[in-house]
Homo-oligomer: A and B are copies of this chain.
Amino acid sequence: MGSAAVDIPHPFDPLTLGEIDTAISIVKKAHGDIFFNVVSLQEPRKAEMTAWLADPDTAPRPKRVAEVVVIAPGGKVYDGLVDLAETKITKWDFLDGEQPIITMEELQLVEHIVRKDPRVIEQCVISGIAPEDMDKVYCDPWTIGYDERFGSTVRLQQALMYYRPDIDNCQYQYPLDFCPIYDADKGEIVAIDIPKVRRPLSQAPALDYHPAAVEKRGGYRTDLKPINITQPEGVSFRMAGREIAWQNWNFHIGFNYREGIILNNITFNDKGTVRPIFYRLSLAEMVVPYGNPEHPHHRKHALDQGEYGAGYMANSLSLGCDCKGAIHYLDAHFPTRAGGLRTIENAICIHEEDAGILFKHTDFRDDSVIVTRGRKLVIQQIFTAANYEYVVAWIFHQDGTIQPEIKLTGILNTYAMDPDEDTRGWGTQVYPGVNAHNHQHLFCLRVDANVDGPDNTVFVSDAVPSDAPVGSPENYYGNGFYNRRTKLATTGEAATDYSGATSRTWEIANTNRLNPFSRKPVSYKLVSREVPGLLPKEGSLVWKRAPFARHAVHVTPYKDDQLYPAGTHVPQTSGDTPLGLEAWIGAGKESVDNTDVVLWHTFGLTHFPSPEDFPVMPAEPMTLLLRPRNFFAGNPVMDVPPSFVRVPSQVLKEEREGGEMGMENGGGCWEGVVRDGVSRLAFSGEGQGEGEGERNGGCCKR
């Protein structure tokens, strides 16, 4: 049995090492040696959880239950639940023809098999690699996705093949043109997809980003001076376990193998009233479809979270590299395949950043001014999905805005091409012999809404001109325009697409509560502009397997266990049977009007690679906002101390008392203003030492 936790975990806390160990022991005892794919917290049942949150002293504490997914000998997959308090298995279902998530350990195995397989060696030789160089052959194993030749009963991976002549080379510059298929149960290569036209190994010189290569090209640039970010008085947030309090925000930071960061019970203290906003926020799924229709590239579409897990693939983060300033880290704990324990240290980093100007206004009459700087809180993780890295940040602003932000970096997935080959528009030659295929990154944000309570309604909100023509009495000068709001009353109606032409947003409203001034329902608005839509066609394999990507927004009534919009067990689904969102929505008749709703938002970008992206990509950010609209009865950040303020009465007083000096004499910070004593002129002629006091600095000098 594992070590006992000193504190009782919060019901939203991920399973502790001890709890994981307990669950494993119970399962092993009942079922013997077995491979563990998942041992993870079952989300507390919402009814129990909300009762407990409302009254933690009296209401029953929600049970700690472990979801367990295992692969038993013979490739038999079981999906179970373990009640941790009662130390018993309460569910144990055999999954017939379903494949659970692929763990990092399963992925790691394939390369060793591939290197020894005679048929693979034969193909490598055809490509131009000597048999004794097989240690320089690498593969990125992906789930096969779906291939109708094999179906879903055999657990398969496809091995995307590369050659790496030097261990420090960027592997993706020497892709090989064939694709072995690995049977996980047999532990062997069962097929190789070989293209009709062969492409021998590229002979281009290596283009690398590692230090020795950079040194060879002339070395690193030496003209970047350090920017230091320090918080001498510490951070402005407090942690109680995994609950964070920062400014008016309060929420719980969870983490699981699949979604990575999970934010629960997000509330905002509105002048003493703690108002619920979201019950749960997470990235619930993603899909990266590639746009080359030639066999077998159609299989390249990664549902990375369901297939590999944003938690399982999380990086261990380091100070001053992944984040700067004063950082708090949280670890992540998982089972190993054999039933041991593993910890990803520093899987989550939490820190504050200066956010630029929060608000400012100058009166043009007298130059009286207020300027207040903003602050943001960032909850961040990074995960590596083979070639790509995803930097996922949940940014909280003081004004009530939540801003999920994703940065893409890492390396393009690549395929071999001949020097004179036409990519036919399906990809770009980013380097000689390297074809990077068109692809999309589509993420599904799951918003379990709780805007002033669970009963919410989603409206689509469009900016449209007045219907009345120019010259008509209602719109004589033609300038009339308004906000057209359309209620999404059923799950069917709620399947909606983005409209750039109308600057479409979606409002998550509580129609039971009106703003006292605007008399509109209190709401949070989803403002998202990177909404490309799924490019694989209706009826395509990707379209079938990733139902969440068919529309920008879906809305469903909340149900326990409806967490994963492409289904619970994603590898090797065909999509022929409705899965996830498609299954839940069905005929689309269910009401989502004034009830506990979940909004699913698919956003992302379409990437047509170019040589700038190679051999490693400068980070490309995308972001969206969840903004309070008609939620507060006024600007909620007026209590943030200003950096500089000079009110009209001061200007007047100075003018009267200062005579000729007028307003040019500057000066006059309001008492209590937050002075920045460390900013300096760039070329003041003096060293910009730290802690120099306010000489040449300070906010009162202009």
Min CB gap A407→B, angstroms: 6
Q: Is A481 on the interface with B (CB-CB < 8 A)?
A: yes
Does A512 have its Cβ within 8 Å of any Cβ on chain B?
no
Number of identical monomers bound together in the oligomeric complex: 2
Residue from the list B350, B375, B618 in contact with A358, Cβ < 8 A: B618
Q: Please state if B679 and A324 are interface contacts (CB–CB under 8 Å).
A: yes
In contact, A346 and B209 (Cβ under 8 angstroms): no
Say yes or no: A518 contacts B682, CB within 8 Å: no
A364-B104, A431-B517, A469-B537 are contacts. A373–B324 as well, Cβ < 8 Å? yes
A331-380 CB contacts (< 8 Å) to partner B = 345-346, 350-354, 356-365, 367, 369-371, 373-375
By a CB distance below 8 angstroms, the chain B residues around A463 are 532, 535, 606, 608
When distances are taken between beta carbons in the complex, the residues of chain B under 8 Å from A323 are 679
Q: A425-B482, A702-B346 are in contact. Are A389 and B361 (CB under 8 A)?
A: yes
Known pairs A230-B230, A629-B610, A699-B321; A326 contacts B681 (CB<8 A)? yes
Q: Output the least CB separation between A404 and chain B (Å).
A: 15
Say yes or no: B517 contacts A432, CB within 8 Å.
yes
Which chain B residues lie closer than 8 Å to A679 at the CB level? Answer: 229, 319-320, 323-327
Q: Mark A431-448, 1 if CB is under 8 A from B, else 0.
A: 110000010100000000
Give me the 7 closest cross-chain CB pairs, A-B, nearest first: A500-B500, A478-B540, A320-B676, A293-B480, A298-B477, A529-B529, A320-B679
Q: Determine if A322 is an interface residue (Cβ-Cβ < 8 Å).
A: yes
Interface residue? A149 (CB, 8 A)? no
A58 within 8 A of B: no
Give every chain B residue within 8 A of A291 (Cβ-Cβ). 466, 479-482
Q: Which of the residues B362, B430, B501, B677 comes within 8 Å of A517, measured between beta carbons?
A: B430
- In the complex, 29 of the A-B residue pairs with CB atoms within 8 angstroms, ordered by the A residue number, are A111-B365, A168-B648, A209-B638, A217-B638, A226-B676, A227-B231, A230-B690, A232-B688, A316-B702, A318-B371, A318-B699, A318-B701, A322-B357, A325-B679, A326-B681, A327-B681, A357-B391, A360-B619, A429-B519, A431-B517, A463-B532, A465-B535, A466-B537, A477-B540, A503-B532, A612-B629, A612-B635, A616-B638, A618-B636
Contact A678 B611 (CB under 8 A): no
Chain B contacts of A107 at CB under 8 A?
A: 364
**CB nearest neighbor in B for A644:** B321
List B contacts of A543 (CB < 8 A).
Answer: 478
Is there contact, CB below 8 Å, between B498 and A211? no
B612 touches A293 (CB 8 A): no
The interface stretch among A123-131, A181-189, A233-241, A277-285 is: A233-241
| Shortest beta-carbon distance from A655 to chain B in Å | 12
Contact bitstring A89-112, B, C-beta under 8 A = 1, else 0: 000000000000000100110010
Find chain B residues with CB under 8 A from A677 CB: 320
Q: Is A61 positioned at the interface, with any CB of B under 8 Å from its CB?
A: no
Contact status B318-A478, CB under 8 Å: no
Give the contact stretch, choosing among A41-49, A190-198, A555-563, A667-675: A667-675
CB closest residue in chain B, given A237 = B682
Shortest C-beta distance, A335 to chain B (Å), equals 18
A577: chain B residues within 8 A (beta carbon): none
* Residue count of chain A within 8 Å CB distance of chain B: 208
Q: How far is the CA of A351 from the CA of B676 in the complex (A)?
A: 16
18 extra interface residue pairs, beta carbon distance < 8 Å, beyond A318-B699, A497-B501? A104-B364, A107-B364, A171-B363, A225-B236, A227-B231, A228-B678, A230-B230, A231-B688, A234-B682, A295-B476, A318-B702, A356-B407, A359-B409, A400-B612, A425-B482, A429-B519, A503-B605, A616-B638
A525 to chain B, nearest CB (A): 9
Check if A520 is an interface residue, CB within 8 A of chain B.
Answer: yes
Verify if A315 is at the interface (C-beta below 8 Å from B): yes
- Tell whether, in the assembled complex, residue A227 and residue B225 are in contact, meaning their CB atoms are under 8 Å apart: no
In the complex, whether A35 has a CB less than 8 A from a CB of chain B is no
Instruction: Check: A691 CB closer than 8 A to any chain B CB.
Output: yes
Asked if B375 and A389 make an inter-chain contact with CB atoms under 8 angstroms apart, the answer reads no
Interface string of A368-411 (1 = CB under 8 A from B): 01110111000000101010010100000111110000010111
The verdict on A225 contacting B234 (CB below 8 Å), with A319-B680, A327-B680, A503-B606 known, is: yes
Taking CB atoms, residues of chain B closer than 8 Å to A477 are 293, 298, 536, 540-542
List the B residue with the shortest CB-CB distance to A368. Answer: B168
| B290, A209: Cβ atoms closer than 8 Å | no
With a cutoff of 8 Å between Cβ atoms, the chain B residues found around residue A520 in the complex are 428, 610
Residues of chain B within 8 A of A430, CB atoms compared: 517-518
Is the Cβ of A228 less than 8 Å from the Cβ of B225? no
| A71 interface residue (CB < 8 Å to B) | no
